[in-house]
Amino acid sequence: MNAIASRSITRLINGALAIKPLANFAKDRARNMMIKRAESIGVYWLDEVAQLRARDGDAAFNPIWEQERAEICDRALTYPNYYLTSFHAYEEGNLGWEPALEATVAAKAVHARLWPEGDARGDIRLRQSYLDVLLEQLPQTPETIVDLGCSTGLSTHALQQAYPKAKIIGVELSDYFLTVANYQTNVALDSTQLTNSPQWLHAAAENTGLADSSVDLVSASLLFHELPTSAALEIIREAYRILRPGGHFTIMEMNPQSEVYKKLPAYVLTLLKSTEPYLDQYFALDLHQALMERGFSQPSQATNTSRHRVVIAQKPA
């Protein structure tokens, strides 16, 4: 497709998305297609979400979720404005039960496509590909780990399995997601998939409240593409502050230099922007430069999938 055609399609899509009923119709169709596709590859979206919602057999939403959220929630927390917007086609963004109960299956559905098999194991393989890089490149086994933007705990569980003795803290802005993370941890402990439990912290990654120089490894898995540049830079600063000298900040993310994204037509980015509002800012950010400007030594980069990268930066000893 030539540049003029691509620009016209982009304008057309922007125009269509500005019409609310049309945008909602497109969203519903995309959602239904995603669920249908997930079911066809062995990610049993509808059943998994229904079971999670009810927890013990009954079909209705289990009120225990709200009780547990009240326990995990820091009521004094002020949400940054950029977070109070819709994400991933959920009007309420990340602050609601529907996105929280669906986050785990949605990740499994999206990551299934990363490998030719295209099945439910894709998410596990993505996590493992990240951990393989860490296990190979980090000079020491970290004892204290912070997982920034931990969502419902998929990345935190993977870290805990790779470093079973480590004390791990999952930091997350959505108290709904954290409540699901806590529940899924208890299930994993019961089934001995996990032998040690992470802790959960309802906080902004740019302001964790954790002590200076107290952490060996700060990990951010699939967080940065959800951030405006200003927040990304603040989070790098915060990671530097809480890391001990010699500690590492590792970032697993979409790789803008990968062939997949380099070839992406502009109109696809426009469509993605309606579900990922800060994607263009992430694609424009020079992550290595930003890390070095905030005190980290020259980062290394490895590719872990056809479209993801692992960036490792060290706080000088």
Residue closest to 155 by CA, chosen among 183, 191, 130: 130
43 binds ligand SAM (CB under 6 A): no
Residue closest to 310 by CA, chosen among 267, 255, 268, 272: 255
Percent composition of the chain: helix, strand, coil (DSSP 3-state, to 5): 50, 15, 35
CA distance linking residue 123 with residue 107, whole number of Å: 7
287 binds ligand SAM (CB under 6 A): no
Give 13 or 162: the residue with its C-beta nearer to ligand SAM. 162
Residue 299 DSSP symbol = P
CA distance linking residue 198 with residue 171, whole number of Å: 10
- Whether the CB-CB separation of 217 and 250 falls below 8 Å is answered with yes
Residues in the chain: 317
Binding mask 55-94 for ligand SAM (x = CB under 6 A): ----------------------------x----------x
171 binds ligand SAM (CB under 6 A): yes
- Whether the CB-CB separation of 235 and 249 falls below 8 Å is answered with no
Q: How far is the CB of 105 from ligand SAM (least distance, A)?
A: 12
134 binds ligand SAM (CB under 6 A): no
**Which one of 19-27, 171-179, 188-196, 239-247 is the stretch in contact with ligand SAM (CB under 6 A)?**
171-179
Residue closest to 308 by CA, chosen among 154, 171, 133: 133
204 binds ligand SAM (CB under 6 A): yes
185 binds ligand SAM (CB under 6 A): no
Give 167 or 225: the residue with its C-beta nearer to ligand SAM. 225
**Which one of 38-46, 112-120, 150-158, 209-217 is the stretch in contact with ligand SAM (CB under 6 A)?**
150-158
**Which one of 27-35, 113-121, 131-139, 170-178 is the stretch in contact with ligand SAM (CB under 6 A)?**
170-178
CA distance linking residue 225 with residue 108, whole number of Å: 18
Instruction: Give the type of residue at 53.
Output: R
Q: How far is the CB of 302 from ligand SAM (least distance, A)?
A: 17
> Which of 201, 217, 222, 236 is in the footprint of ligand SAM by CB under 6 A?
222
- Give the pairing type, strands 243-254 and 199-202: unpaired
- Site residues (CB under 6 A) for ligand SAM, limited to 236-265: none
- Whether the CB-CB separation of 221 and 205 falls below 8 Å is answered with no
**Which one of 149-157, 188-196, 271-279, 297-305 is the stretch in contact with ligand SAM (CB under 6 A)?**
149-157
104 binds ligand SAM (CB under 6 A): no
**Which one of 44-52, 134-142, 146-154, 236-244 is the stretch in contact with ligand SAM (CB under 6 A)?**
146-154
CA distance linking residue 14 with residue 41, whole number of Å: 32
Instruction: Give the type of residue at 195.
Output: T
Residue closest to 97 by CA, chosen among 127, 146, 60: 60
Residue 195's H or E segment, with its range, is none
Q: How far is the CB of 127 from ligand SAM (least distance, A)?
A: 8
> Which of 13, 34, 106, 107 is in the footprint of ligand SAM by CB under 6 A?
107
Which residues of this chain interact with ligand SAM, rule CB under 6 A? 83, 94, 107, 149-151, 154-155, 171-174, 177, 204-206, 221-223, 226-227, 231
